[in-house]
Amino acid sequence: MVTIKDVAREAKMSVATVSRVLNGSGPVSEETNRLIREVVGRMRYVPHSGARSLITSKTETIGVLLPDLYGEFFSEVIRGMDDTAQRNGYHLLISRAYADRHGIETAIRAMRGRVDGVVAMSPDLDAESLLNLPSTIPIVLLCSVSRGNEIDSITIQNFRGAREMAAHLISLGHKRIAIIKGSVRNHDAAERLRGYRMALRDAGITPDPLLERDGDFTEAAGYSAALQLLALKKRPTAIFAANDSMAIGALSALRESGIAVPEEMAVGGFDDIPLARYMDPPLSSVHVPIWELGAKAVTLLLHGITHKNDHARRRERVSTKLVIRRSTGGEPAERPPPQTLNREKVSV
């Protein structure tokens, strides 16, 4: 394995000069810089990341803690984070962390010395527990907020989005509108439930506890909740699921039960994951710019890293938009045009 000493010997320079060129940490002439980089390329030298981090006090790595790694929502969030991180010369270290206080504190402490900062997406988390961590670690809290201004955070416009979806269903003449809720103690779920209830009250409709069904953001929970709603003596005529995964599960249960959507039951979701537009029928949803959510989180964290965590903390909110498709009776939103395959003729 080629070492920095080998590069210095070949370039007839000191190890310190080679180090300054590779780390951009000191004045070096243009000719010296060109010569050393030419030798580095010819010898295919790759700096040891551990040794480099000891010199620069930077790992050029961002830690990401997510409550789950499954599903389109999380894959889109990760894609936005990774695109932004790589564009700025960073890489991601991703871990699934359980939402309890001990679990996430343990995960973040395990990343100390291995990352320059952490994005923690844990809506169930009591954010105040993060304040017990060393203040030198920049942290961005995603989809949750702390009571004060000690931690940078990014949230989704949950209340407004849910209120608009419920209001849309009411505008179609629905009065018995059910909701499949998200996880207990989940910030996003609580805000979406609050928006749903407010829309009902705005229309003079008293929320019915029988129409509020528990869920955990999974397809299985949506499927089960939809069957429970169909078993009621007085069924709802519309279902609003607190995320698209549960809405997709609900659509499956309705299809198996022979319930026509939207003629007998309208269905709306939240997040507008890429799969939503390809459902049958296409799913109406509250659009969240998921890629941008991940990108914004990394951008905010890089700001904290650059300022060595000595900066005014920010609270940002990602806006939502109602997207109406056929599952609630609207016309389907545009789908990407089918790609034409270029088939080359093969001569035998």
Answer yes or no: do 279 and 169 share one domain.
Answer: yes
Q: Counting Cβ atoms within 10 Å, is residue 126 exposed (0-12), middle (13-18) or buried (19+)?
A: middle
Answer yes or no: do 249 and 310 share one domain.
Answer: no
User: Is 348 a member of any domain?
Assistant: no
Answer yes or no: do 167 and 262 share one domain.
Answer: yes
A 10 A CB-CB count for 78 gives 18
Q: What is the pLDDT of residues 122-148, one digit of tens each?
A: 655 555 555 555 556 888 888 877 665
Residue scoring higher pLDDT (44 or 228): 228
What is the C-alpha separation between 311 and 199, in angstroms, rounded?
A: 38
pLDDT at site 133: 55
User: Is 303 a member of any domain?
Assistant: yes
Answer yes or no: do 116 and 95 share one domain.
Answer: yes
Is it the case that residue 26 has pLDDT exceeding 60? yes
User: Is 305 a member of any domain?
Assistant: yes
User: Is 343 a member of any domain?
Assistant: no
Answer yes or no: do 258 and 218 share one domain.
Answer: yes
Answer yes or no: do 50 and 142 share one domain.
Answer: no
Q: How many domains does the chain have?
A: 3
Answer yes or no: do 185 and 273 share one domain.
Answer: yes
pLDDT at site 71: 80
User: Is 346 a member of any domain?
Assistant: no
Range of the domain at 218: 158-287+322-328
Residue 115, domain CATH: 3.40.50.2300
Q: What is the pLDDT of residues 164-191, one digit of tens each?
A: 999 999 999 999 999 999 988 788 999 9
pLDDT at site 48: 58
Q: What is the pLDDT of residues 106-116, one digit of tens each?
A: 777 777 778 88
> By the 8 A CB rule, do 226 and 267 touch?
no
What is the C-alpha separation between 67 and 120, in angstroms, rounded?
A: 9
